[in-house]
Chains A and B, each alone.
Chain A
Amino acid sequence: MKRITIDPLTRLEGHGRVEIFLNEDGEVENAYFIVPELRGFEQFCVGRPAEEMPRITNCICGLCPEAHHIASAKALDSLYQVDPPPAVKKIRELFYSAFFVLDHATHFFALAGPDLFLGPDAPVAERTLLGVVRKLGAETGKQIIDARMRNGHAIQLLGGRTVHPVAALPGGWSKPVTEEVRKEIETIARANVEFALSALELYEQIVLSSGANVALIVSDDYTDRTYSMGMVDSRNRPNFYDGLIRVVDPDGGEYAKYSPRDYRDYVEERVEPWTYLKFPYLRRVGWDGFRDGPASGVYMATPLSRLNVADSMATPRAQACFEKMYETLGSKKQNGRYQPIHHRLATHWARLIELLYAAERMVELATDPEVTDPNVRARLTAIPCEGIGCVEAPRGTLTHHYWTDENGVLTKVNLIVGTTNNHAPIAMSIKKAARSLIKKGVVPSQGLLNRIEMAIRCYDPCLSCATHTLPGSMPLEVAIRDSRGIVIGRVAREP
């Protein structure tokens, strides 16, 4: 069968490849999304002291180390059965809000931006962040760069370093926030709100103003009706730092709402031999292949899904934008909440709304008097055993699960990472986009292939995150043992 390969996928984080097979009619028979990398955190972290995990798991991803840092901190809180002092939670969430602004801005302008602002067919050499800056002009370019720099600075002030922060401790944070730092962060937060609003305006001007763009967004080719997952507070409003996990079905009815401690009852992963990344799905719905619909356990965990599970937003301007997006894309209310939007390209819009929420939340926390409370450490008394910590990473729900001996040295680790949640949805989006774009007689230009990649980019994939698992070359034979150590089967493979 004729094969088209896109290698590597670009303007996302990590390694990925797409293989598209065409039948004799020149139509797409199948398309595969392959992740060819693995490092093995779940294994090589065994034997490490649990309190080092916020720093070690940073290195799962250099775009979202803060997500791992905080998920890890919460797993440590759980491990030592400690409720951190209020200032600690606020500092962590403040730090996390700055990170969300930074990361979402980086994705929107540097990774997705070239497609949105320059068009998918722009020459390859132009289709970069630098091309975006040239197109939007020096003034806007400066604003984008400033937004990244000031939030990176805020992260460093609060967490020690911008990339790979260090301050998280079980039940605590390694340094308190002084009034001087708080003032600086407040200024940054307020500037972020302005920046978020102007980013949304830009999106409206450049993307939404074009009928063709909107038609593309709502077209069936970029739509899959799956379950949606996200973390919400007690009023079903998105909160990236803490809350319960809520899942809604394709029509918007609540399917489940559970504590992160119970994630195993709801999420399961499957293995395919042609990719190093596993496929999570809703356990009780079951795996029904790469399909959408209520009978398929495939779910998405993205900014779009987080808004889909929300009843409302926790901050006013974000709430206004949230309503606008759902209204504009034709979502009707049912039982008082908007029905989910399944148009994957709308994820870019959802991402900007989240950016705005994070900015507003950052102002709230930066002006909270408790954030400068010097009490940032807790006494640890429990013997460590097992802990689970969960946050919303920019790319999806992130779960860290640690088991340790009584010395707090790791004996087992499980990580379900943001983008991993979306492995099946991404695969489905690629196939659909490929099917719609590649037809008999169509020569796949680099612009056309780029449009297939755009179906992936809206997920803001972080494939290094996703493939934290599994180092080492596969041995020739694996003996499978039951819990008593007795060999119950063997799996052989060629090296």
Chain B
Amino acid sequence: MKLKPKLAMYWAASCGGCEVSLLNVGEKILMVDRVFDIVFFPCIADFKYKDVEALSDDHIDLCLFNGAIRSSENQELAELLRRKSRLLVAYGSCAHEGCIPALSNLTTAADTLEAVFVSNFSTANPGGVVPRTTTRVPEGDLALPLLYDTVRALDQIVRVDYYIPGCPPEPPRIWEALEVFVDAFVGGAELPAVGSVLGATDLALCEECPLERNEKRVPRFFRPHEIVPDPKVCLLEQGIVCSGPATRGGCGALCPRAGMGCRGCYGLLQGVVDQGAGMVAAVAAVLGVGSPQEEESAIEQTIERATSSIVDPAGTFYRHSLAHSLLRRRRPSITPNEADEGS
């Protein structure tokens, strides 16, 4: 009897939405059960880390790894699962590009410690106790993973075979991607080129968005609660920031359909090198203020006023992709000592 291919699904610094989204394929989950043997999937199965360590290398045929890499434990599991897996998939936006956890890259560890354990509004901590990687308790030592300053995507730690983007990936796309693997494992079909993005299109989200598109000459931008947009017309055209132009399609444009701008969770288009840069260019391109006849200072002022409602450009344009951005993180302040420490 032919052995079933082995499936693993693991969550690093994540929220669990990727697992839920997989379960949301509905009855097709039974097909997953028929085709695969689950060997590690902490959300729904009781295999432990030691069970994974005991597997031989490449034993896992397909590992769906979601979550960003923000701690030493996340890194260890990424490296362990890479060793034990034939195919390692960066599943979901966190593993793909950092996603929401990577917003941490705009802040610093020192500020965070202070905010959470020392000056947090509801925390009473006069002794200034903070969690430690090793704590001695009367019975022995207790360990905690080291938290890194910078949140990383999976491919910044280990070699990744495929990407399934989305926060989370939408169930019909998940199924399409799984079918590719099932066809390969069971039907002998060829696998796509290594590094391929599965479950997403190669076109901008705008191509699958049903909202009506006209010429875009936006006099100013608005925050989502400042106007009531026409639900049938392109949001960007009405001055609501929407990252559709810099984002891959595949999700069905669910957010614009609900009257809210895309925030780019399906990741950058091929050919877009940096999603934030792409959105700066796209937003500037639709801005219809400033003309060559005006004085320079007048142009500057109209541009400022028209974009004043974009109060958090980095956090909005890089909402899901900071780990993969060109600059990657906010610069920590460099003291002369550290600059000399150098590499």
Contact A166 B117 (CB under 8 A): no
Chain B residues within an 8 Å CB radius of A292: none
Contact A128 B45 (CB under 8 A): yes
Contact A175 B24 (CB under 8 A): no
A6-B48, A62-B21, A270-B125 known; A43 and B130 CB under 8 Å? no
Contact A273 B129 (CB under 8 A): yes
**Which of A152-160, A210-218, A249-257, A300-308 lies at the interface?**
A152-160
Complex interface residues of chain B between 132 and 165 (CB less than 8 A to chain A): 132-135, 137-140, 142, 144-149, 151
Q: Is A13 an interface residue (CB 8 A)?
A: yes
Contact A62 B19 (CB under 8 A): yes
CB distance from B96 to the nearest CB of A (A): 14
Q: Is B231 an interface residue (CB 8 A)?
A: yes
Chain A residues within an 8 Å CB radius of B100: 39, 56, 59
A149-B24, A268-B122 known; A491 and B128 CB under 8 Å? yes
Cα distance A124–B129 in the bound complex, in angstroms:
39
A268-B124, A493-B130 known; A49 and B223 CB under 8 Å? yes
Q: Is A418 an interface residue (CB 8 A)?
A: no
Chain A residues within an 8 Å CB radius of B215: none
Contact B311 A380 (CB under 8 A): no
Chain B residues within an 8 Å CB radius of A377: 228
Contact A160 B149 (CB under 8 A): no
Chain A residues within an 8 Å CB radius of B142: 19, 32, 34, 274
Q: Is A235 an interface residue (CB 8 A)?
A: no
Q: Is A296 an interface residue (CB 8 A)?
A: no
User: Which chain B residue lies CB-closest to A31?
Assistant: B139
Cα distance A110–B41 in the bound complex, in angstroms:
12
Contact B124 A13 (CB under 8 A): no
Chain B residues within an 8 Å CB radius of A273: 129-132, 135
Chain B residues bordering chain A, tally (CB within 8 A): 96
Chain B residues within an 8 Å CB radius of A133: 30, 33
Chain B residues within an 8 Å CB radius of A56: 100, 103, 319
Contact A128 B38 (CB under 8 A): yes
Q: Is B183 an interface residue (CB 8 A)?
A: no
CB distance from B27 to the nearest CB of A (A): 6
Cα distance A47–B115 in the bound complex, in angstroms:
14
Contact B225 A169 (CB under 8 A): yes
User: Which chain A residue lies CB-closest to B315?
Assistant: A48
Contact A62 B23 (CB under 8 A): no
| A11 touches which of B46, B129, B224, B259 (Cβ 8 Å) | B46
Contact B168 A170 (CB under 8 A): no
Contact B263 A55 (CB under 8 A): yes
Contact A129 B109 (CB under 8 A): no
**Which of B10-18, B55-63, B267-275, B284-292 lies at the interface?**
B10-18
| B147 touches which of A29, A38, A129, A408 (Cβ 8 Å) | A38
CB distance from A141 to the nearest CB of B (A): 7
A271-B131, A273-B132 known; A128 and B107 CB under 8 Å? no
A11-33 interface mask toward B, CB cutoff 8 Å, 1 = contact, 0 = none?
Answer: 10111000101000000011010
Chain B residues within an 8 Å CB radius of A6: 48
Q: Is A65 an interface residue (CB 8 A)?
A: yes
User: Which chain B residue lies CB-closest to A124?
Assistant: B46
User: Which chain A residue lies CB-closest to B41?
Assistant: A128
A62-B17, A133-B30, A471-B112 known; A480 and B118 CB under 8 Å? yes
Q: Is B29 an interface residue (CB 8 A)?
A: yes
Contact A37 B71 (CB under 8 A): yes
Chain B residues within an 8 Å CB radius of A473: 109, 146-149
User: Which chain A residue lies CB-closest to B39?
Assistant: A125
Chain A residues within an 8 Å CB radius of B14: 62, 464
| A40 touches which of B21, B104, B135 (Cβ 8 Å) | B104
**Which of A197-205, A324-332, A340-348, A409-417 lies at the interface?**
A409-417
Contact A493 B122 (CB under 8 A): no
Contact A474 B113 (CB under 8 A): yes
Contact B71 A469 (CB under 8 A): no
Chain B residues within an 8 Å CB radius of A161: 254-255, 258
User: Which chain B residue lies CB-closest to A55?
Assistant: B263
Contact B259 A471 (CB under 8 A): no
A452-487 interface mask toward B, CB cutoff 8 Å, 1 = contact, 0 = none?
Answer: 010000000010100001111111001010000000
Q: Is A282 an interface residue (CB 8 A)?
A: no
Chain B residues within an 8 Å CB radius of A139: none
Chain A residues bordering chain B, tally (CB within 8 A): 116
Cα distance A60–B111 in the bound complex, in angstroms:
20
CB distance from A322 to the nearest CB of B (A): 29
Q: Is A127 an interface residue (CB 8 A)?
A: yes
Q: Is A316 an interface residue (CB 8 A)?
A: no
Contact B103 A44 (CB under 8 A): yes
Cα distance A114–B125 in the bound complex, in angstroms:
40
Complex interface residues of chain A between 272 and 315 (CB less than 8 A to chain B): 272-276, 278, 280, 283
Contact A39 B124 (CB under 8 A): no
Cα distance A383–B180 in the bound complex, in angstroms:
52
Chain A residues within an 8 Å CB radius of B103: 44-45, 48, 56
Complex interface residues of chain A between 406 and 428 (CB less than 8 A to chain B): 407-409, 412, 414, 416
Cα distance A231–B14 in the bound complex, in angstroms:
28
Contact B316 A52 (CB under 8 A): yes
Chain B residues within an 8 Å CB radius of A46: 107, 115
Complex interface residues of chain A between 1 and 15 (CB less than 8 A to chain B): 1, 3, 6-11, 13-15
Q: Is A63 an interface residue (CB 8 A)?
A: yes
Q: Is B210 an interface residue (CB 8 A)?
A: no
Q: Is A494 an interface residue (CB 8 A)?
A: yes
| A36 touches which of B43, B73, B138, B167 (Cβ 8 Å) | B73
Chain A residues within an 8 Å CB radius of B45: 10-11, 124-125, 127-128
Q: Besides the contacts A163-B20, A271-B125, what 20 more A-B pairs have beta carbons closer than 8 Å?
A: A1-B139, A19-B140, A21-B139, A37-B13, A38-B70, A40-B112, A49-B223, A52-B315, A60-B15, A162-B21, A264-B121, A273-B129, A280-B122, A469-B116, A470-B112, A471-B147, A472-B147, A473-B146, A474-B132, A475-B110
Q: List 19 A-B contacts (CB under 8 A).
A: A8-B48, A8-B49, A29-B139, A30-B139, A32-B137, A34-B144, A36-B71, A37-B13, A40-B112, A43-B115, A44-B104, A58-B15, A62-B16, A62-B168, A128-B44, A268-B124, A274-B135, A470-B117, A472-B112
Chain A residues at the B interface, C-beta cutoff of 8 Å: 1, 3, 6-11, 13-15, 19, 21, 29-30, 32, 34, 36-40, 42-49, 51-52, 55-56, 58-63, 65, 106, 110-111, 114, 124-125, 127-130, 133, 141-142, 145, 148-149, 152, 156, 159-164, 166-167, 169-172, 174-175, 263-264, 267-276, 278, 280, 283, 377, 380, 401, 407-409, 412, 414, 416, 446, 450, 453, 462, 464, 469-475, 478, 480, 489, 491, 493-495
